[in-house]
Amino acid sequence: MKCFEFHCKLKELQLLGTLNGGQSFRWKKNIKDGIEQWVGVFKERVWVLEQSFDTLKCQVYQTPHDNMENNELELILRNYFQLDLINLEEHYEEWSAKDPYFKEAAKQFYGIRILQQEPVENIFSFICSQNNHISRITSMVEKLASFYGSKICDLNRVEYYSFPKLDDLAHPAVEEKLRTNGFGYRAKYITKAAQEIVSKGGTDWLEKLKLMDYVDAKKNLITLTGIGPKVADCICLMSLGHLQAIPVDTHMYQIAARLYIPTLSKKKTITESIYKEIGDHFRNLYGPLAGWTHTILFCADLKKFKEVINDDREDKPNKRKKK
């Protein structure tokens, strides 16, 4: 285990809203000796984070052959939270000046960051998210990891696994195993999408999507089985660096209709043109980081948010559908 800490203000990173807002499904909140901890898996390591007013304390559990030093691990974590890319305090001031609704939301939902996730995990997590609720998505993602990932460690009597590699998910036998373990139609989507990505060049193809402009990257993602506009935008935003992507689900549509585009209230469905209208509205309002502000507004409008968090922990699926 490696231990380190570094300076990080709450206004630059709020773990609660960032890790429990539906971006990643591999983080859990624990209370140890009265202290809130967040335990999660990324980059084939288990991370335990504790936050104080201006300090982030970190414990990192690695496999025996992995002996990365503290300074390297800190850099991985900083990149994951994009701490050196975006100064949130400055941007919050800018966004608040443009939008009174954002200014009100920012009072409680400060320090919400877009995670820079691994594209493979991000893609297959959000394929699992369709027509689903957070606790079940989390269960599916953990099953994928335990079935096809590599074991990292045991911690507090829990086994932790890395997320599977593309080739492991592309194996023809995967679909049947996932179907028998509660994945339903998503089993086929996962296997087919993995096979399609491998045929296009695998992780090299995914890296190329980061270098494309947002529109082209989204078009390429939509060619994959099981990925429509909303999921493609989630992937663009959360793992490909296209921070202007706006995932529009029913909840975001309701926010736009109520607060920003009143004419939408007369519409009954989210058509392709309405989807684009909502995205363009926020991009025109906020600029190239519109997807970041969308995430903050999304969290702020989730019926007190803490109630949603409790629902997720208590496995009450009817409260919120994932995008």
Give the tens place of pLDDT for each residue, 121-177. 999 999 999 888 889 999 999 999 999 999 999 999 999 999 999 999 999 999 999
Q: Which residues contact 197 (CB under 8 A, 6 or more apart)?
A: 120, 123, 166, 170, 205, 206, 224
Measuring CA to CA, which residue among 184, 180, 150 is closest to residue 168?
Answer: 150
The backbone region for 194, taken as left when phi is positive above 0, alpha when psi lies in -120 to 50, beta otherwise, is: alpha
Which pLDDT score is estimated for 32? 84
* Residue-wise pLDDT tens digits, 186-222: 999 999 999 999 999 999 999 999 999 999 999 999 9
- Burial grade of 14 (CB within 10 A; 0-12, 13-18, 19 or more): buried
Topology of domain 1-85 in CATH is TATA-Binding Protein (3.30.310)
| C-beta separation of 5 from 55 below 8 A | yes
* Among the listed residues 112, 81, 125, 25, the one whose alpha carbon sits nearest the alpha carbon of residue 297: 112
Give pLDDT, residue 300.
87
Q: What is the pLDDT of residue 304?
A: 41
Dihedral pair phi/psi, residue 6, rounded to 5°: -155, 160
Architecture, CATH, for domain 119-239: Orthogonal Bundle (1.10)
**Residue 268 appears among annotated catalytic residues:** no
- In angstroms, the CA 95 to CA 198 distance is 40
Instruction: Report the largest interatomic distance among the alpha carbons of the chain, rounded to a whole angstrom.
Output: 59
Which tokens go with 289?
């980081």
pLDDT for the residue 251: 87
Among residues 218, 230, 322, 323, the one annotated as catalytic is: 230
Tell me the one-letter amino acid at 201: G
Within the chain, all domains assigned CATH 3.30.310.40 are found at: 1-85
Where, residue-wise, is CATH 1.10.340.30 in the chain?
Answer: 119-239
